[in-house]
Structure 1
Amino acid sequence: MLKLSNETKVGVLTVLGITLLVLGFNLLKGKSLFSHNKTIYAVYQQVNGLQPANAVQVNGLVVGNVANLEVMDKDASRILVAITITKKIEIPRNSVARISSDLLGTKTVQLDLGNAGEYLKSGDTIYAAVDGSMTDALKEQLNPLVKKLEGTLSNIDSVLMSVNAILDTTAKGNLQDAIRNLNSTMRNFTHTSASLNSMLDPDNGNIQKTFNNLAAVTGNLKDNNAKITGILDNAQKATDALAKGNIDKTLQQLQQTATNLNQTIAKLNNTDGTAGLLLNDKKVYNNLQYSLGNLNKLLEDLRVNPKRYVHFSLFGKKDKTKPLPSDSIAVQ
């Protein structure tokens, strides 16, 4: 039996260890030494945190992984990404390798297959594109809201400054007075509401009593409907009788009487007639007054000295003439 030395055993183990180390390193990088994979390249200006071994997908199916990322320029303006395709698929030349991320931030390379008739071979370069991250999308959505919020806060600040300017010591005192008046108004409103509730009480409220009285009145009217109808009939008959009567003739006679009365009053006011002279001529009035005075004296003398006018004596002696009371009064 062949015997191996310790040195040989150590050498074989070292070779096996190095081989396993290389295989494990390549497996971690997504490479396989026992398969015929295809490597294509894409040039990006921004990789958004893409790392080696990130998955490469076509329509959601993992078809490979990212093999390596290298900087092509000193300013890192271009980054070369090596993509290993492990599945046996054909990639049209006008396809696009697009870097995208999911909600958790995991980066993947999505291959959007084109419709060209020629296909990429190992070592060819594919068109590159980068999707915006969720953060960028949120920024795009939030930027208008942030601007509106800034404008709103500015307006609120202006309003608060205006309110502070308005609410000086006098205005604050007026506002306190207004609040006190409002409290008083609310109390009055409470009392008014209580009074209204009392009025609207279905048992003892004034409104209910009013409705009850109204119902009683309407009931009385209903009960006396026949009497009211008779009264209305009598009124109708009276108006018919007045309408059929000689009202026009009576009015004409009354008008004629008023005319005659006006003529009589006009004659009395006129000085041509006797009655007019008596009423309007002062001389006639004075003469009449004088005649009446003399007539009164004559009657008074006849009463006092009747024998002056009728002489009758058995002995032929004359009585002495007595003065009139009016004349004696005038002499005194």
Structure 2
Amino acid sequence: MLKLSNETKVGILTVLGITLLVLGFNLLKGKSLFSHNKTIYAVYKQVNGLQPANAVQVNGLVVGSVTNLEVMGKDASRILVTITITKKIDLPRNSVARISSDLLGTKTVQLDLGNASEYLKSGDTLYAAVDGSITDALKEQLSPLVKKLQGTLSNIDSVLLSVNGILDTTAKGNLQEAIRGLNITMRNFSHTSASLNNMLDADKGSVSKTFNNLASISGNLKDNNAKITGILDNAQKATDALAKGNIDKTLQQLQQTVNNLNQTIGKLNTTDGTAGLLLNDKKVYNNLQYSLGNLNKLLEDLRVNPKRYVHFSLFGKKDKTKPLPSDTAAAQ
């Protein structure tokens, strides 16, 4: 049996350790030593924190990884990124390698496939692009707001300075008095609110009682709906009867009667006609009064001295004429 010295064993272990170290380092960098991969390159002005072993994706599918980043030149204006494609896919020559990040800040290289008929080979260079980070997007959105806020704060500061200049000691005292009055008003409002709460109470509130009364009235109306309907029908019948009657003709006749009455009264107010003369001519009234007086005397004389007008005597003796009572009374 071959016997190995300690030095040989140490050398073998050292070689194995170095080999494992190299393999592990390459695996951590995303390199595979046992497959034929495609290596392509992309040049960026900035990489936004991209690191080796970050994933390379096409349409969300991981097809490789970033294996190396190095600066091209001393000014660091160009950064060469080495990309290893482990999947057997064809990449059009006009594809774009775009650096993006998710909400957690994990960086990936997204390959946006082009439409060229020629495909990239190992060692070719891709077009490069960088998406803006979420922080940059927030900055773009917040920058106008910050400017507006600064302007608003400046205006508020100016207004406060103006107010301090306007409000002297007397004005400040008046303002304090107004605030005290506002406090009193708020307390009164609180009392009013409590009163409203009492009014709106479901059990004892007046509003609840009012609604209950309204409900009772509506219930009574509902119970007497048939009677109300009958009353309305009767009213409708009465109005129909009035509508069917010759109301217009009756009103015209009444108007004509009033006109005739007005004409008659007008004639009575004039001296035309016997009635007008009797009412308006004093001479006619006096003559009529005189005639009536004489007629009364004639009737009285006929009653007192009937034999003056009717002669009837068996012996032919004439009675004496008696004086009229009215004449006697007049003489006295």
Secondary structure, aligned partner of 1:246? helix
Q: How far, CA to CA, are the matches of 2:271 and 2:110 in structure 1?
A: 122
Partner of 1:58: 58
1:18-69 deviations in Å (ceiling 9; x for gaps) = 1111111111111121111111111100111111111111111111111111
Structure 1 residues 168, 39: closer, same or farther in 2, change over 3 A? same
Task: Supply the RMSD in Å over aligned alpha carbons.
Answer: 3.4
Structure 1 residues 252, 134: closer, same or farther in 2, change over 3 A? farther
Secondary structure, aligned partner of 2:25? helix
Structure 1 residues 180, 72: closer, same or farther in 2, change over 3 A? closer
Please report how far the alpha carbon of residue 6 of structure 1 lies from its aligned counterpart in structure 2 after TM superposition: 2.9
Structure 1 unpaired stretches of 5+: 203-235, 254-332
Q: Which letter maps to 1:70?
A: E
Structure 1 residues 180, 85: closer, same or farther in 2, change over 3 A? closer
Please report how far the alpha carbon of residue 80 of structure 1 lies from its aligned counterpart in structure 2 after TM superposition: 0.7
Tell whether 2:73 aligns with 1:73: yes
Q: How far, CA to CA, are the matches of 1:15 and 1:180 in structure 2?
A: 91
Tell whether 2:111 aligns with 1:92: no
Partner of 1:120: 120
Normalising by structure 1, what TM-score? 0.56
Please report how far the alpha carbon of residue 172 of structure 1 lies from its aligned counterpart in structure 2 after TM superposition: 2.9
Structure 1 residues 145, 252: closer, same or farther in 2, change over 3 A? farther
Partner of 1:161: 161
Q: How far, CA to CA, are the matches of 2:153 and 2:74 in structure 1?
A: 46
Tell whether 2:246 aligns with 1:246: no
Structure 1 residues 169, 21: closer, same or farther in 2, change over 3 A? same
Q: Which letter maps to 1:246?
A: I
For residues 280-295 of structure 1, what are the structure 2 equivalents within 5 Å? none
Q: How far, CA to CA, are the matches of 2:265 and 2:82 in structure 1?
A: 133
1:54-106 deviations in Å (ceiling 9; x for gaps) = 11111111111111111111111111111111111111110000011110111
For residues 287-326 of structure 1, what are the structure 2 equivalents within 5 Å? none
Partner of 1:323: none
Tell whether 2:104 aligns with 1:104: yes
Q: How far, CA to CA, are the matches of 2:177 and 2:142 in structure 1?
A: 46
Normalising by structure 2, what TM-score? 0.56
Q: How far, CA to CA, are the matches of 1:252 and 1:110 in structure 2?
A: 127
Partner of 2:226: none
Q: How far, CA to CA, are the matches of 1:12 and 1:177 in structure 2?
A: 97
Q: Which letter maps to 1:88?
A: K
